[in-house]
Amino acid sequence: MGMGRAAVQQLDDFLRSVQHLSPHTRNAYRRDLEALRAYCEREGVERWSRLDGARLGAFVAQRHRLGLGGRSLRRNLSAVRAFFRYLNRSGLAVANPAVGLVTPRTPRLLPRALDVDQAGQLMRIPGDDALAVRDRAILELMYSGGLRLSEAVALDLEGIDWIDGTATVLGKGSKMRKVPVGRYADAALKAWLKVRASFAAAQERALFVSSRGTRISPRSIQERMRQWAIRLKLPVHVHPHMLRHSFATHMLESSGDLRAVQELLGHADISTTQVYTHLDFQHLARVYDQAHPRAKRTRPR
């Protein structure tokens, strides 16, 4: 006997309850939990409350054999933990089978970032037409404050504080945070606002709009950035998140202040920020030589 209608309804009710998550995360949770439901069907688990740690561990092991990496498996378990917390609160289950389960670890690779010169080259978008002015403003702001693509898209006109030189963005988990607007970003944004009115539809509050006058889409920014990188002869494939990686890397290289960068990026867990600390060893060696009182190592002549 497979899962009944009540179990399916409970899953649908949970997915409707997590509206605070991004659409991307909700869709990932749906895929993960639907895969688990199909597994329970095959195993004859007729109610969620009958799923125990051993069966869930076997499901995770099966997914691993099918090629899922550690990061995807950890997200799988996060979805299951959240679902069972919902079932626990609703009185539909008394235990959480995902608690205590571990997944295979995969090495965390340093995200690809532009170097400082390449970032500067990307900002030098030529032309005075409105779309070029808009694109310069988008790129300068994303690099200035380490914005996620979704944060730049969702930013409204009132999100910029011109006196403080900050932007207030809506991050993951519906968390608001302030990010700095540097002088280059400030100048680029002011240039964009001078021409924005000729684009924006009446009552449109989005800071960045498309040629149709409505809020620009994530896909449009991705494609425009790709085209500009090619035109400006950058030797790498450039995507929006690369600017966020570049912001984090350059900030850490210059300041070494991990906590400050964590706050600026809006990371809830500092371990997420620590991926940016795996800097080139030669850079670390130079910092060591300059900072440590007994660091002047003897080098062969």
Model pLDDT for residues 129-160, shown as the tens digit of each residue: 999 999 999 999 999 999 999 999 999 999 99
Known active-site residue 224:
no
Q: 25: buried, middle or exposed (CB in 10 Å: 19+, 13-18, 0-12)?
A: middle
Asked if the model's pLDDT at residue 227 lies above 60, the reply is yes
Per-residue model confidence (pLDDT) at position 206: 97
- Among 116, 65, 108, 114, which Cα is nearest to 240's? 114
Question: What is the percent of the chain where pLDDT is above 70?
Answer: 88
Query: Per the residue annotation, which of 37, 136, 148, 196 is the catalytic one?
Result: 148
Query: Per the residue annotation, which of 172, 178, 226, 239 is the catalytic one?
Result: 172
Known active-site residue 86:
no
Residues forming CATH 1.10.443.10 domain(s) in the chain: 116-284
Which residue type is seen at 284?
L
Q: 295: buried, middle or exposed (CB in 10 Å: 19+, 13-18, 0-12)?
A: exposed
Per-residue model confidence (pLDDT) at position 242: 93
Question: What is the percent of the chain where pLDDT is above 90?
Answer: 47
The CATH code for residues 5-89 is 1.10.150
CATH for 116-284, options being 1.10.443.10, 2.40.50.140, 3.30.300.30, 3.40.50.10860: 1.10.443.10
Q: What single DSSP character describes residue 206?
A: B
Q: Which two tokens stand for residue 289?
A: 């030589």
Known active-site residue 148:
yes
Query: Per the residue annotation, which of 134, 136, 244, 250 is the catalytic one?
Result: 244
Known active-site residue 172:
yes
State pLDDT tens for residues 23-60: 888 898 999 999 999 999 888 888 898 898 888 988 88
Residues forming CATH 1.10.150 domain(s) in the chain: 5-89
